[in-house]
Chains A and B, each alone.
Chain A
Amino acid sequence: MELKDEVRSLRESTGMSRQEFAKYFEIPYRTLQDWELGNRRMPEYLFRLMEYKTRLEGLCLPKNMSAGKVTQVVGEPSINKLSHTAYLSNIGRYTVFRFRESRLKFIAPYSLERYDRVKEWDNGYLVVLTKYSHLDHLIDEYIDLAPILDHLVIDKDKFLRPIHNVEVSYD
């Protein structure tokens, strides 16, 4: 999605008109209009800040109240809060581990291409079929979340206890 579309989606997710949105963020109406129409490019860091503020202040409408096509905040994962499933993926050489509202991101080998399938999950210890760019076949990769949780000052037991299984998902 182009940035101008993301800006419009973000505004629509709040249910605000362009005028209301511009007034709320104290930016000129014409500036917002130009960003949404693609006449001018909004700085990406500014969009991320607005997205953060939108989420922080709970400006997004519930799904059934959205007037526009967008029904959730751009970039917000649609993970069921009651789910006991965590999701594994990667962004470049960083592994991403998502569970409910939490998202861990940690460095992986430089040649990581993608994860294929989780073979084993044992209370923080993962065995996952992985594709590396320097290999032409999938291999088992071993990931231990325990030291990562320690480094990030996250209570291991509390974090891991509700996770019953892990799936590879790039959604």
Chain B
Amino acid sequence: MTDMETMAREAEVIICGYAVSRSDFGFRVINLHDLGSCSVFREDGQLVETNMNDVELSVAREYFNKALKYMED
């Protein structure tokens, strides 16, 4: 069972409770306040998969775009 502490530790950037981490399948954005809420994006911002509703998805996308600026290559 993945917990908040683990997800937070594995994140490269955390913005307003959304943890962004890089993986071989894309960039995962997970809501640390609701671990059931997650999205995966490509580096160009295209959505790969999500279980968020449209409102939260737009919020997560915005935080992902901001996080990219701080993530090292």
Segment touching B, from A35-43, A129-137, A148-156? A148-156
A114-171 contacts to B, CB under 8 A, are 147-148, 151-155
- The one of A48, A102, A107, A152 in contact with B55, judged by C-beta atoms closer than 8 angstroms, is A48
Given contacts A152-B38, A152-B40, A153-B35, contact A105 B30 (CB under 8 A): no
Are A48 and B54 neighbours in the complex by a CB distance under 8 Å? yes
**Given the complex, which residues of B lie within 8 Å of A104, measured CB to CB?**
49-51
A1 interface residue per 8 A CB criterion: no
Are A152 and B54 neighbours in the complex by a CB distance under 8 Å? no
A12 interface residue per 8 A CB criterion: no
The B interface is mostly helix, strand or loop, or mixed, namely mixed
Chain A interface size, as a band, is 10 to 19
Chain B interface size, as a band, is 20 to 34
Are B25 and A105 neighbours in the complex by a CB distance under 8 Å? no
**Given the complex, which residues of B lie within 8 Å of A147, measured CB to CB?**
25
Are B51 and A151 neighbours in the complex by a CB distance under 8 Å? no
B37-73 CB mask vs A (1 if < 8 Å, else 0) is 0111000001111110111101000000000000000
A18-56 contacts to B, CB under 8 A, are 45, 48-49, 51-52
Taking the nearest CB of chain A, how far is it from the CB of B14, in angstroms? 16
- The one of B30, B40, B51 in contact with A102, judged by C-beta atoms closer than 8 angstroms, is B51
